[in-house]
Amino acid sequence: MIGFPYTSADKYGRTMSSSDLSPASLREAFGCFPIGVVAIAAEVDGDKVGLAASTFVPVSLNPPLVSFCIQNSSTTWPKLKDLPALGISVLGEAHNDAARTLAAKAGDRFAGMETESRTSGALFIHGTNVWLETSIAQLVPAGDHTIVVLAISDIVINPDVAPMVFHRSEFRRLEA
Ligand SMILES: Cc1cc2nc3c(=O)[nH]c(=O)nc-3n(C[C@H](O)[C@H](O)[C@H](O)COP(=O)(O)O)c2cc1C
């Protein structure tokens, strides 16, 4: 029987405690939740700007809304936050390298990726399984992140692309 708060040993013999709320523990705990990864991107003065995000969540059908969380320390977000449109590309199972490239601190975040930009400025990655053209509807402060609520203006679905699942710091594919 598990009490609360509880401690137990994991398969490596490490003690897991429910009262350990360090950033490392929280990252490990949050990482147990399997989730997809998206690219959030736009073209800004001819440059491709974007990042990888695993906090993407569908929010509402009517009106059509999605959200993701951006860390308040992001140096990329200030370049995106005032744009009229942001492209969201849901990464597929072949995008392990792309996910890391899109999160790189230095270098071309779109290296090796075929992209498409819309007249709105929204930027998409080819070979991904869903494209959502969006605009920022609401910003909600939430601790060291901000919840960005986005209104969807257009959708492209490519059902033939199998999804990628981010789980415990690894990019995994679903079993067929
Ligand atoms: C799989 C993965 C998921 C990520 N998810 C998020 C996220 O949801 N929110 C966020 O702010 N950063 C996230 N990041 C970090 C950004 O992709 C990027 O590395 C970071 O914004 C870089 O710092 P900068 O914004 O100062 O350029 C993620 C990185 C990876 C590899």
Asked whether 166 lines ligand 1 (CB < 6 A), one says yes
**Residues 5-16: pLDDT tens digits?**
445 666 666 666
> Whole-number mean pLDDT of the chain?
92
Candidates 43, 140, 129, 38; CA nearest to 86 is: 43
Asked whether 41 lines ligand 1 (CB < 6 A), one says no
**Residues 130-173: pLDDT tens digits?**
999 999 999 999 999 999 999 999 999 999 999 999 999 999 99
Cα(53) to centroid(ligand 1), Å = 5
Cα(50) to centroid(ligand 1), Å = 9
**C-alpha to C-alpha distance for 57 and 132, rounded to whole angstroms:** 12
Asked whether 147 lines ligand 1 (CB < 6 A), one says no
Query: Which two tokens mark 143?
Result: 């601790």
User: pTM of the predicted model, to two decimals?
Assistant: 0.91
Amino acid at 21: L
Candidates 129, 111, 114, 115; CA nearest to 36 is: 129
